[in-house]
Amino acid sequence: MIVKSKTKPLLLRQLEALLNRIPNTHSKRRFIEEDYAKQKAGYKGEKSLEYHLSYLPEKDYYIFHDLRLSASKHYFQIDILILTPFFISILEVKNISGSLYFNPAFTQLVRTIEDKEEGFPDPIQQVKRQAYHLKSWIEEQKFPVLPIEPLVVIGNERSVIKFDPRDKTSPQLVIPSSEIPYKINYFKNKYKTEAHSTGQLKKLINKLKNSHTPLLTEILQRYHIGPAELKQGVQCQKCFSYPMIRIHGRWICSACKHLSKDAHIQSLQEYSLLINQSISNSHAKEYLGIESRDSVKRLLQSISGKKAGAKRGTKYLLDSFIDNPDSFH
């Protein structure tokens, strides 16, 4: 069964929010668009793996997408973790197009596309390192360690994979996505000793789920953009122009006259993804373009039950937008 499903990565949501808020004429827009296209292709590639994973019998396998855990104070990220009472397999997914050569001498992946060569860090080393970290994590949590099988999955079906003929190890570890069910079944036949009782397995599943810590990138710092460079105000969901004006408890678009009750939600969601995970009354007044302190207060109270600080220093927490993107839709 899928314990943690594949959802839109936080970085992708941040880039979407940023593209929505950065003016079309901004000099950094082109770089952000390029990064967004890369992230989106990666997400689509990983999403398409769900089809191949669906061939694994639900009751035998516990599947986690995008786990970020910390062992010995270091964070490590796993694209897909498949847990059974007998073994664990971890999958590092690569969606690199072109001809891919795994060079064992230099532990490097060389991609050739249109006669141009480009080097990438070796994904085999990457996934082996994750296996090592995961083993430490399981030991730290005082669970019995079970065999860990690392795999590199090539998500792009048109990529051509090449190995050094003397290299006997890499071809065992790199597979096309369509081979996932067969490879996992091979591990199932290989490991016959149950390392965990049903109770222990349940505890481990919960521990993995609860230990996941999403990475929130300081996205504005990453592109050296200041909050003042972003578009302010509430965006119209119909014609996408800025700003909507608040009149009698409703938002009205200054361009197309579209009316909305909750257009501020997306704006505050974008604020939490780009600027800060909490907001004061005065910042919200300025950002949303509302004159009255009291109506801002009512609005913030309606979307955020959690507050920090007191009186004029009160901040409303917007972190639920980060943890659960769908909670307000």
Tell the smallest beta-carbon distance from residue 258 to Zn ion (Å): 4
Tell the smallest beta-carbon distance from residue 48 to Zn ion (Å): 35
Which of 19-27, 66-74, 165-173, 237-245 is the region at the interface with Zn ion (rule: CB under 5 A)? 237-245
Single out the residue of 231, 238, 283, 297 in contact with Zn ion (rule: CB under 5 A).
238
Total binding residues toward Zn ion, as defined by CB under 5 A: 7
- 27 closest CA partner among 229, 243, 217, 270: 229
Interface with Zn ion, residue 1, by CB under 5 A: no
Tell the smallest beta-carbon distance from residue 81 to Zn ion (Å): 44
Interface with Zn ion, residue 37, by CB under 5 A: no
User: For residues 68 and 258, which CB has a smaller minimum distance to Zn ion in the complex?
Assistant: 258
Interface with Zn ion, residue 237, by CB under 5 A: no
User: For residues 65 and 246, which CB has a smaller minimum distance to Zn ion in the complex?
Assistant: 246
- What mask of x and - would describe binding to Zn ion in positions 197 to 236, judged by CB under 5 A? ---------------------------------------x
Interface with Zn ion, residue 145, by CB under 5 A: no
**In the range 257-296, which residues lie near Zn ion by CB under 5 A?**
258
Tell the smallest beta-carbon distance from residue 243 to Zn ion (Å): 10
**In the range 64-103, which residues lie near Zn ion by CB under 5 A?**
none
User: For residues 4 and 258, which CB has a smaller minimum distance to Zn ion in the complex?
Assistant: 258
Interface with Zn ion, residue 245, by CB under 5 A: no
Tell the smallest beta-carbon distance from residue 271 to Zn ion (Å): 20
Contact at 8 Å (CB) between 28 and 229? no
Which of 7-15, 128-136, 195-203, 255-263 is the region at the interface with Zn ion (rule: CB under 5 A)? 255-263
Q: Over the chain, what HEC string results?
A: CEEECCCCCHHHHHHHHHHHHCCCCCCCHHHHHHHHHHHHHHHHHHHHHHHHHCCCCCCCCEEEEEEEEEECCEEEEEEEEEECCCCEEEEEEECCCCEEEEECCCCEEEEEECCEEEEEECHHHHHHHHHHHHHHHHHHCCCCCCCEEEEEEECCCCCEEEECCCCCCHHHHEEEHHHHHHHHHHHHHHCCCCCCCHHHHHHHHHHHHHHCCCCCCCHHHHCCCCHHHCCCCCCCCCCCCCCEEEECCEEEECCCCCEECCCHHHHHHHHHHHCCCEEEHHHHHHHHCCCCHHHHHHHHHHHCCCEECCHHHCEEECCHHHHCCCCCC
Interface with Zn ion, residue 297, by CB under 5 A: no
Single out the residue of 113, 160, 215, 255 in contact with Zn ion (rule: CB under 5 A).
255
Q: Over 256-315, what HEC string results?
A: CCCEECCCHHHHHHHHHHHCCCEEEHHHHHHHHCCCCHHHHHHHHHHHCCCEECCHHHCE
User: For residues 215 and 255, which CB has a smaller minimum distance to Zn ion in the complex?
Assistant: 255
Interface with Zn ion, residue 239, by CB under 5 A: yes
Interface with Zn ion, residue 256, by CB under 5 A: yes
User: For residues 234 and 253, which CB has a smaller minimum distance to Zn ion in the complex?
Assistant: 253
Which positions touch Zn ion (CB under 5 A)?
236, 238-239, 253, 255-256, 258
